[in-house]
Structures are given as C-alpha cells and as structure tokens.
Structure 1
Amino acid sequence: MSTTRKSTKAASDAATEATKTAQAAVNDGIERMTQGMSKIGSFGQENVEAMIECATTVAKGVEKIAAENVEYAKSQMDAGTDKFQALSKAKTPQEFFEAQSELFRTSMEQHIGQVNKVSDMWVAAARDAAQPLSKRYSAFVEMMQTR
C-alpha cells in the first residue's frame, strides 16, 4: 500500500508538473501572439500614416506645379501683347519676319525652360512622396530580419 501511495503521489506530482509546464507554454504562446498582433497592428497603422503623408506630399507638389503653370500662362498672356506690338512695329516684311523669328525663338526657349522647371518639380514631388514609403519598407525589412 505504501508503494502504491508513493507511485500515485509520484504520478500525481508528475501530472501536476506537466500541467504547469503545459500551462506556462500556452501562456507564453498567448503572450507572444498578443505581442505579435500588437506589433502588426501598430506596423499597419504606421503604414497608413505613411500613405497619408505620401498622398499629402503629392497633393502639395501638384498644387505647386499647378500654381507654377498658372503663373507661366499669365506671363505668356502678358508677353503676348508685347509680342504683338513688336510685330506691328515692323515696317517691312523683312523686319516682320526677323521679329517673328526672334519671338518664336524666345518663346521656344521660355517654353523649354518651363518644361524643364515643371519636370524638376515633378521629380522633387515624387522623391519627397516616396520617402515615407521607403522608410516603411526599411522598417518592414528590419522587422523581418529580427524574427
């Protein structure tokens, strides 16, 4: 009987210890899963914030470009009057064609300059808009490497 009690006690102690170990493992797993879900949630929120920042930057860039194009259009309208006056002052066909050639040349130079300026503005807007997304990508890579 004494042996049976000892065996029963040993089995009971072993079962209790196994239950404690299993419970600790389950609790640890739940804790790690909760932490992982929390990290995923905050990572997702940071991604959304980066997307909003990106969209805001693009909108500001488009706004600047639109304002620049409006300003250029106004300056061209104002210059159109001066160009017409220069053409109307020509007294001979030769003077008219020279004035017209000069006006065409300066208009093309201005237009090419404006296209280059707006292109640079687009590149700057795209570069600035990509920064928050690039940071999020780097954070993602870093997160995956630490797993």
Structure 2
Amino acid sequence: MSTTRKTSTKSADSVNEAASTAQNFMNDGLERMTQGMSNVGAFGQENVEAMIESATTMAKGFEKIANENVEYAKKQMETGSDRFQSLTKARTPQEFFEAQSELLRNSMETQIGQVNKMSDMMIATARDAAQPLSKRYTAFIEMVQQSR
C-alpha cells in the first residue's frame, strides 16, 4: 500500500506541475497578446498623428504658394501698366517694336522666374509633407524586423 501512496503522490505532483506549467504558459501568452495589441494601438495612433502632421504641412505649403501667386499677380498688374505706357510713348514704329520686344522679354523672364520659384516651393512642400509619413514607414519596417 505504501507503494500505491507514493505512486499516487508522484502522479498528483506531476499533474500539479503540469497544470502550473500550463497556467504559466497561458499567462505568458495572454501577457504577450495584450502587449502586442497595446503596441498595435500605439502604432496606429502615431500613424494618424503623422498623417495629420503631413496634411497640415501640405496645407501650409499650399497657402504659401497661393499667397505667392497673389503677390505675383499684383506685381504683374502694377508693372504691366507701367510697361504698357512705354508702348504708348513710342513715336515711331521702330520705337514701338523695340518697346514691345523689351516688354515681351521682361515678361518672359519674369514668368520663367516665377515658374521656377513655384516649382521649388511645391517640391519643398511635398518633401516636408512626406517626411512624417516616411518616418512612420521606417518605424513599421523596424517593428516588422524586430518581430521576426
């Protein structure tokens, strides 16, 4: 009978140990799952914040571009009337065509300069707006690599 008790005691201890191991395994799994869900939520929140930052940067950039275009249009209207007066002052067809050529040349140079300026402003806006999203992409890649 003593052998039966020892065997029963060993069996009970083995069952208790197995149950304890299973419970620890379940607790660890639950803790990892909870931590993972928390990380996913935080990552998603950071993505939303990056999108908002990017959209804000884009809106500010477009506002600057629009203001620059308005200023350019005002300036062109002011200088256009002055230049037109130079055409009316021409006394000969030769002077008229020279003034017209000068007016056209100045207008083209100014327009090309403005197009270059607008292009630079748009590129800078796009680059600045992409920066927060690029950082989030990098964070995503790092997160995927760490999870392997």
1:71-110 equivalences in 2 (<5 Å): 71-110=71-110
Deviation at 1:140, TM superposition (A): 0.9
Residue-by-residue CA offset, 1:6-64 (whole Å, 9 max, x unaligned): 11111111011000000000000000111111111101100000000000000000000
Runs of 5+ in structure 2 lacking a partner?
none
Residue-by-residue CA offset, 1:57-116 (whole Å, 9 max, x unaligned): 000000000000000000001111101111000001111111001100000000000000
Opposite residue 40 of structure 1, the aligned amino acid is V
- Structure 1 match to 2:58: 58
In the superposition, the TM-score normalised over structure 1's length comes to: 0.98
Q: Which runs of 4+ in 1 moved over 4 A?
A: none
Runs of 5+ in structure 1 lacking a partner?
none
Structure 2 counterpart SS, 1:99? helix
Aligned-partner Cα distance in 1 for 2:98–2:35: 77
Aligned-partner Cα distance in 2 for 1:70–1:9: 91
Equivalent residue pairs, number: 147
Aligned-partner Cα distance in 2 for 1:33–1:91: 88
- Structure 2 match to 1:36: 36
Aligned-partner Cα distance in 2 for 1:118–1:84: 26
